[in-house]
């Protein structure tokens, strides 16, 4: 049984919410499980539901697999502008509720994700394309085992969790577009640069 959500691991992997993450991400992996745990715990603590609009804001500090589970579960998405990516290379999720003004930050504890020696070696081999069929099968077995273990680990053991004060990021703005002088493609006005009195898009600069 999982201490934080009183489900056993088979239940979590079979749950609609986890399946949706796998559908979106494409495969089951430890990173997706980490993102699943972080997002569900953050929402539970903020007492929030999936965000249909911009009610909650997610700030992630890695663009690894975990970020996909966060988008699926919180409804904070790249396209809605309430999913903010900071390129810090850290498994950190900060979730902020506009309704309550509360925020929660979860950062992974050291060594919680480290694969064992056999797993690490197989990851390298599979990546390099030199793994045999047996090694690939073994890799998938360990990878899936690791994903399950993470789902079963209580959130408190996986993450340092604290509440945070944060000024809500401004809501997404919709700006009118104007054509770029060079390519003619409609471009959000605020993203055009003035060069010799001509408005040029960043792609053409
Ligand atoms: Zn993945
Ligand atoms: Zn252009």
Give the chain's domains with CATH numbers: 9-164 (3.30.1330.130), 173-205 (3.30.60)
Cα 174 to middle of ligand 2, angstroms? 20
Mean pLDDT lowest among 41-45, 100-104, 113-117: 113-117
Nearest C-alpha neighbor of 37 from the set 185, 201, 156: 156
CA dist., res. 185 & res. 16, Å (int): 41
CA dist., res. 65 & res. 172, Å (int): 25
DSSP string of 36-51, one letter each residue = HHHHHHHHHHHT----
What is the per-residue pLDDT for 175?
85
Q: Which residue has the higher pLDDT, 6 or 151?
A: 151
Given a cut of 90, whether residue 169 has pLDDT beyond it is no
Cα 183 to middle of ligand 1, angstroms? 37
Q: Give the number of the ligand closest to the Cα of residue 187.
A: 2
Nearest C-alpha neighbor of 154 from the set 1, 43, 50: 1
- Give the single-character DSSP code of 80: G
Given a cut of 80, whether residue 98 has pLDDT beyond it is yes
Q: Which residues on adjacent β-strands are paired with residue 160?
A: 107
Cα 12 to middle of ligand 2, angstroms? 47
Cα 68 to middle of ligand 2, angstroms? 31
Cα 25 to middle of ligand 1, angstroms? 7
Rounded to two decimals, the pTM is 0.85
Q: Give the number of the ligand closest to the Cα of residue 192.
A: 2
Cα 179 to middle of ligand 2, angstroms? 8
Structure tokens, 67: 């970020």
What is the per-residue pLDDT for 170?
76
Question: Once rounded to an integer, what is the mean pLDDT over residues 55-67?
Answer: 94
Cα 52 to middle of ligand 2, angstroms? 33
Which distant-in-sequence residues (6+ apart) come within 8 Å of 143 by Cβ? 28, 29, 30, 119
Q: For residue 99, name the pLDDT band (cuts at 50, 70, 90).
A: confident
Report the mean per-residue pLDDT for the chain: 90
Cα 146 to middle of ligand 1, angstroms? 12
What is the per-residue pLDDT for 63?
92
Cα 29 to middle of ligand 1, angstroms? 5
Structure tokens, 204: 């053409």
What is the per-residue pLDDT for 1?
45
Number of other CB atoms surrounding residue 191 within 10 Å = 14
Q: Which residue has the higher pLDDT, 14 or 162?
A: 162
Cα 183 to middle of ligand 2, angstroms? 4
């Amino acid at each position: 049984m999982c201490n934080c959500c009183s489900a056993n691991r088979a239940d979590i992997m079979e749950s609609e919410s986890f399946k949706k993450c796998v559908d979106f991400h494409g495969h089951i992996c430890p990173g997706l499980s980490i993102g699943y745990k972080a997002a569900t715990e953050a929402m539970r603590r903020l007492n929030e539901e999936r965000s249909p609009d911009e009610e909650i804001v997610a700030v992630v500090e890695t663009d690894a697999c975990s970020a996909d589970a966060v988008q699926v579960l919180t409804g904070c998405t790249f396209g809605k502008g309430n999913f903010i990516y900071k390129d810090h290379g850290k498994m950190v999720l900060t979730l902020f509720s506009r309704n309550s003004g509360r925020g929660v930050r979860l950062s992974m504890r050291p060594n919680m994700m480290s694969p064992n020696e056999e797993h690490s070696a197989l990851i390298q081999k599979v990546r390099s394309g030199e793994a045999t069929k047996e090694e690939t099968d073994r890799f998938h077995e360990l990878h899936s085992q690791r994903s399950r273990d993470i789902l079963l680990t209580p959130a408190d053991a996986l993450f340092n969790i604290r509440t945070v004060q944060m000024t809500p990021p401004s809501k997404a703005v919709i700006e009118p577009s104007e054509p770029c002088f060079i390519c003619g493609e409609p471009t959000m006005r605020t993203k055009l640069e003035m060069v010799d009195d001509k408005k040029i898009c960043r792609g053409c600069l």
